[in-house]
Amino acid sequence: MSKAALEKLRAKFGDAILETHSQHGDDTAVVASERWREVCEFCRKDPGLSFDMLTDLCGVDFPERAPRIEVVIHLYSTQKRHRIRLKTRVGETSGEEGEDGLVNCAVDTVVPVWPGANWFERETFDMYGVTFKGHPDLRRILMYPEFEGHPLLKDYPAEKTQPLIPYREKDEDGKPLEKQAPFGPDEGMSFGRKHFTHGGEA
Amino acid sequence: MGELNRTVTLEGSEAGFATTKVDALLGWARKYSLFAYPFVTACCGMEYMALASPRFDLARFGAEAPRFSPRQADLLWVVGTISQRQAPVLRRVYEQMMAPKWVLAFGTCASSGGFYDNYTTVAGIDKIIPCDVYIPGCPPRPEAVIDGLLLLQDKIASGDRRPGVVKPREDPLRDLVQLRKKGDKSGRSSDKSEKEST
């Protein structure tokens, strides 16, 4: 619908638009990360585009790709009633281990363009470790500050939890816990219905 | 000397007799005056509201008074998912409650973590605090919760601190059993033997 928007972006930024496609009517442009902020500002301010609403901002992890993480934003124009999706790719995995083996995982913030991006960028930072340069308050939003690593990266171990307090190992009398939930035929139920009823029979 | 010995033994048995009766009286009194602290974190809270409102009327069982300070409560309802971030809060709330205190895990998430087997969720509140009654269900029906409360009252009256699980009123697999072939009794043999034995 807004292929015109993609053409406008291509005409304006040329090589900075790495690729575009319009699958199922969803117009998507992949932007070079160096010009991310510039493209976003243009999308917001150009009278023909005027994308005044930031619907979503999130991250995607592709561990096999060279710029590993995609930052995706979905935009909507309440005046022109059209949508666009912008992506940029950041984050190289290097031999030298930085935090999570990610280096150069940074992109300009879009909070000055759409103030609503604030918490979205904090979430993307929390979950993927993308640093948004110039963000007013970049810290974790969902996980606790003691949490190490970024849980939605594909190389975060699926089983790994980081409890804030140690789990119980002894019961109140100081005896070691054998099993916590009761198991067995009655499951600790001291009255009634110890066995299932089938079709109303006892 | 022999007579003196006999007197001492009699005193001991009388003391034991009196203690059990006081415990029974205390248990009977406590089970009908539970002051609840609802620790409501997730969607099970809606079911808790239905339970506390007139339709299901938790007040019938003397457990309707919510106290919003754990220091005044003796029953902790853990209603909903407990994330790792909330775990210290829940532990502190539990520690602030006066003894005797009981904990009721409302719903699958509080009981075992449910399907949240991931980096952010505590897999069951019994990992951090002792739990008396587990009520499975996502969310549990109010009837199941009332069953759980009655189970807890039964445990309070009898002084039984072992945990218990509320069982479903109907076999959830009953409809699956009917899908099996006629004459294939392998799947039900265990059920039948159980029925014969009861």
pLDDT digit string (tens) for B99-153?
Answer: 889 999 999 999 888 888 889 999 889 889 988 999 988 889 888 999 999 999 9
Does A187 sit within 8 Å of B174, measured CB to CB? no
Residue B39 and residue B83 in contact, taking contact as beta carbons nearer than 8 Å? no
Domain boundaries, given as residue ranges, for chain A: 2-161
Nearest to A163 among B84, B151, B165 (CB): B84
Encode A108-140: b = buried (16+ Cβ within 10 Å), e = exposed.
Answer: bbbbebbeebbebbbbbbbbbbbbbeebeebee
Contact list, A180 vs chain B (CB under 8 Å): 124, 126-127, 131, 163
ipTM of the complex: 0.75
Antiparallel, parallel or unpaired: β B164-165 and B133-135: parallel
Q: What is the pTM of this model?
A: 0.76
**Beta-carbon neighbour count of residue B102 at 10 Å?**
23
pLDDT in tens, A21-47: 888 888 999 999 889 999 999 999 999
CATH superfamily of A2-161: NADH:ubiquinone oxidoreductase Nqo5 subunit (3.30.460.80)
Contact list in A for residue B158 (CB cut-off 8 A) is 190
C-alpha–C-alpha distance, residues B41 and A144, integer Å:
17
Which residue type is seen at B192? K
Q: What is the pLDDT of residue A40?
A: 94
Res. A191: pLDDT tops 80: no
How far, in Å, CA of B121 to CA of B84, rounded? 5
The reply to whether residue A164 touches residue B112, judged by beta carbons under 8 angstroms, is no
* Cα B30 off chain centre by: 15
- B174 and A181 within 8 Å at the Cβ level: the answer is no
CA dihedral (B68, B69, B72, B78) positive or negative: positive
Strand order in the sheet with B164-165: B36-40, B75-79, B102-106, B133-135, B164-165
Q: Which of residues 145-164 of B touch A (CB under 8 A)?
A: 150-151, 154-155, 158, 160, 162-164
Residues of chain B with pLDDT under 70: 1-20, 171-198
